[in-house]
Amino acid sequence: MMKWLKDVWEGFWTVLVGMRITWRHLFTRKVTLHYPEEKWILPPRSRMRLFMKYEDCIGCGQCARACPVQCIYIKAEKRPATAPAIYAANGQPIKLDVSVFDIDMSLCCYCNLCTYPCPTDCIYMTPEYEFATTDLTHHLYRFAKPNAKFLTVNPKPPAKPAAPAAAPAKPPSPQSPPSTPSTPSTVPPTTAGA
Amino acid sequence: MDLVFRLLPETLDSWLRVTLAGTLCAVALLTFMALGPLLYVYTETKIAGFMQDRIGPKRVGPHGLLQTIADAVKLLFKEAIYPAKADRFLFILAPCLVVMGAFLSFVVIPFGSRLVTADLDVGLFYVVAVSSLSTVGIIMAGWASNNKYALFGAMRSAAQIVSYEIPAVMTLLLPVMLVGSLSLQHVVWAQNGGLQNWFLFRYFPLMAVAFLILFVAGLAECNRAPFDIPEAESELVAGFHTEYSGFFFALFFMAEYTEMFVISAVASVIFLGGWMSPFPNGFLQHLGFVGLPQVGLGPLWLIGKAWLLVFVMMWLRWTLPRLRVDQLMHVAWKVLLPVSMALVVVVGGMALWGPTRSGFPWDRWVGWPIVVGLLLYLAWGIVDAWRWSARRPQTYAA
């Protein structure tokens, strides 16, 4: 009998305890984020939609090779010798005509691996995340522009007075055969930093 | 209904007057019943959201006020799908019966001293009899659906309602013994004179326990959480209304909310003074509300008390997890039933014995302190919640 009474009392009392908790939560501040009106402050270096600055691309294709899901498609041809010289923003000469640079964001796994090898830092992740579409093909972003305005003057000329000083850095760029895009990738940052 | 009857012109034949008055009352009650769920569903979603620190519906209309209307319109325009092997006739009849069971109880609920459709002399008995009609409807729905989950739900519902009706009826006996009448209007008049005269505070701890039993049993009878095992979605998909869609599902939904209101209204008529004001007679007039007619406020008091109990039902739903079937039976047969039977004996004896015929001597003094203390405690809970949420860091919102 005492056990029964204790049981009933505990049942009743614990219900009241639970009701007390929900009563308080009825009046606490809500945690809901009113999404389209309010937005999250994204953490620094958050990885969202990829962007590629076409004017800076030298067509080396390292990003496409680094991509684990093969969502970057590049088609590049050797620039004819008669064409005017053009340069990327960090002073690297662009020797390939990039006719196609497509990124399929519906395939992208947001790993950020493509941005590290880029010699000109022209591909990077933006904090832009609201790009849902009703059609999956709209996620295929075509970055190649037919009428892009390239830099025809080297923004960072290879330091005329310091030419002898930068002697070890210089040789790779004139010789740079199109078959070895990896050698200029390591060198220009060092010249830019020096 | 008498009121409407008297308002109709006397030149009409009396049979026509009776029919017209009845029809008008039915239409008024039906409107009340059909519009009620719009409010209840909105408050329920909002309360559910608030209790989970969310904000609930927000997009449709200001603060999501039109959300329920959108839902109702959606349900009404949806296709009603009949399972191939369902018993078509019973399948359609079942939701109608469930709604009818909920609706018929409205007939005897007094909304004011004269605002009652029919003040039957067997009022309480009628409520008990009519509300079990919905059980038939639920079993019919489960059987006609030709679906094992629906049948499971219906069987559980039958077992549950049959068990919980006994303690409910036992507690309904108490006011009948005190008043000496089954008429709900007589029960209300017996609690005249303010909050301290309510049956909730008669024989102080005893009738309060009876009220709790009636409330819990009522909760079980309208299949609400924590007693919602007939439609336990984690086990039975949706229980007895698994196969229903569109309008018929809307009927079940409406029946559930209507039944909540009816049970709350009956409980407030029996224990919370019905349409009587909680203040002593003449108190409001004394405060300066001179022109307020006591009768005119009746519906407001009754609906307010009923909504308060409906709110407690929602509060419980978002507080407690669902009971297991054996726990459900344990509560009904081993706790509620013995206590209610003991109450019938004890309160019946008290009502017969001379010195305690009209309650214990402290009855008049416990009512107000308890109610005021409860309100103060809840208000303190609000203040505490505000203080607590002011301390909580908000790092994510811009």
Please give chain A's pLDDT, 194 residues, in tens: 889 899 889 988 999 999 988 888 888 887 777 888 878 778 778 888 888 888 888 888 899 999 999 999 999 888 888 888 888 888 888 888 888 889 998 888 988 899 999 988 889 888 888 888 898 888 888 888 888 888 888 777 766 665 555 444 444 444 444 444 444 444 444 444 33
Most distant pair of Cα atoms in chain B: their distance: 74
**Full residue range of the structural domain in which residue B184 is found:** 78-280+293-391
Asked if the Cβ–Cβ distance from A29 to B319 is below 8 Å, we say no
**Which chain B residues touch A127 with a CB distance below 8 Å?**
none
Please say if the pLDDT value at position B137 is more than 60.
yes
In a domain, B5, yes or no: no
CB-based burial label for A15 (10 Å; 0-12, 13-18, 19+): middle
- pLDDT class of B194 with cuts at 50, 70, 90: confident
Asked if the Cβ–Cβ distance from A24 to B385 is below 8 Å, we say yes
- The identity of residue B114, as a single letter, is R
Distance of alpha carbon B252 from alpha carbon B250, whole angstroms:
5
Q: Residue range B141-160: average pLDDT?
A: 86
Q: Is A147 on the interface with B (CB under 8 A)?
A: no
Distance of alpha carbon B163 from alpha carbon B151, whole angstroms:
18
CB-based burial label for A181 (10 Å; 0-12, 13-18, 19+): buried
Asked if the Cβ–Cβ distance from B54 to A31 is below 8 Å, we say yes
Please say if the pLDDT value at position B154 is more than 60.
yes
More reliable by pLDDT, A75 or B287: A75
Q: Is A35 on the interface with B (CB under 8 A)?
A: no
In a domain, B251, yes or no: yes
**Full residue range of the structural domain in which residue A139 is found:** 50-149
Distance of alpha carbon A49 from alpha carbon A139, whole angstroms:
10
| Helix, strand or coil, per DSSP, at residue A104 | strand
- pLDDT class of B340 with cuts at 50, 70, 90: very high
Q: Is B387 on the interface with A (CB under 8 A)?
A: no
In a domain, B267, yes or no: yes
Number of H helices, E strands in chain A: 4, 7
Please say if the pLDDT value at position B1 is more than 80.
no
Q: Is B398 on the interface with A (CB under 8 A)?
A: yes
As given in the structure block, the two tokens for residue B230 are: 């007939």
**Which chain A residues touch B51 with a CB distance below 8 Å?**
22, 25-26
Asked if the Cβ–Cβ distance from B389 to A28 is below 8 Å, we say yes
Asked if the Cβ–Cβ distance from A28 to B320 is below 8 Å, we say no
Structural domain tally of chain A?
Answer: 1
Answer for the pair B196, B368: CB distance below 8 angstroms, yes or no: yes
More reliable by pLDDT, B2 or B188: B188
- Quick one: how far is CA A108 from the chain centroid? 10
Report pLDDT for A192. 41
Structural domain tally of chain B?
Answer: 1
In a domain, B177, yes or no: yes
The CA-CA-CA angle for residues B394, B396, B398, to 5°, reads 100
In a domain, A178, yes or no: no
Q: Is B59 on the interface with A (CB under 8 A)?
A: no
In a domain, A75, yes or no: yes
Q: Among B51, B392, B398, select the one facing A41 at the smallest CB separation.
A: B398
Segment holding A93, helix H or strand E: strand A93-94
Please say if the pLDDT value at position B234 is more than 80.
no
Peptide bond between residue A146 and the one before it cis (omega within 30 degrees of 0): no
In a domain, B52, yes or no: no
Taking the CA atoms of B275, B276, B277 and B282 in sequence, report the sign of the dihedral they define: positive
Q: Is B316 on the interface with A (CB under 8 A)?
A: yes
Q: Among B53, B381, B389, select the one facing A23 at the smallest CB separation.
A: B381
Report pLDDT for B108. 87
Residue A181, φ and ψ in degrees, nearest 5: -80, -10
Is the overall model pTM greater than 0.80, yes or no?
A: no
Asked if the Cβ–Cβ distance from B319 to A38 is below 8 Å, we say no
Q: What is the percentage of chain B residues whose pLDDT exceeds 90? A: 6
Q: Which of A36, A176, A21 is nearest to A94 (CA)?
A: A176
Report pLDDT for A173. 46
Report pLDDT for B312. 92
Provide the CATH number for the domain around residue A112.
3.30.70.3270
Which range scores top for mean pLDDT: A107-121, B189-203, B350-364? A107-121
Mutation site for A-interface testing, chosen from B312, B378, B389, B395 by largest number of A Cβ within 10 Å: B389
Distance of alpha carbon B139 from alpha carbon B161, whole angstroms:
11
- Tell me which chain B residue has its CA closest to the CA of residue A4: B335
Report pLDDT for A190. 40
Distance of alpha carbon B97 from alpha carbon B102, whole angstroms:
9
Question: A-B interface: how many C-beta pairs under 8 angstroms?
Answer: 75
Q: Is A19 on the interface with B (CB under 8 A)?
A: yes
Asked if the Cβ–Cβ distance from B397 to A18 is below 8 Å, we say no
In a domain, B167, yes or no: yes
Least trusted range by pLDDT, from A52-66, B106-120, B276-290: B276-290
In a domain, B129, yes or no: yes
In a domain, A25, yes or no: no
Answer for the pair B137, B94: CB distance below 8 angstroms, yes or no: yes
**Which chain A residues touch B378 with a CB distance below 8 Å?**
23
Taking the CA atoms of B241, B246, B248 and B250 in sequence, report the sign of the dihedral they define: positive
Mutation site for B-interface testing, chosen from A8, A29, A129 by largest number of B Cβ within 10 Å: A29
**Which chain A residues touch B388 with a CB distance below 8 Å?**
24, 28
- Tell me which chain A residue has its CA closest to the CA of residue B334: A4
Distance of alpha carbon A185 from alpha carbon A181, whole angstroms:
7
In a domain, B101, yes or no: yes
Distance of alpha carbon B255 from alpha carbon B244, whole angstroms:
14
Distance of alpha carbon B348 from alpha carbon B52, whole angstroms:
44
CA distance A35 to chain B (A): 9
In sequence order, what DSSP letters do the residues of B321-375 get, joined into one string? PPPPHHHHHIIIIIIIHHHHHHHHHHHHHHHHSGGGTT--TTHHHHHHHHHHHHH
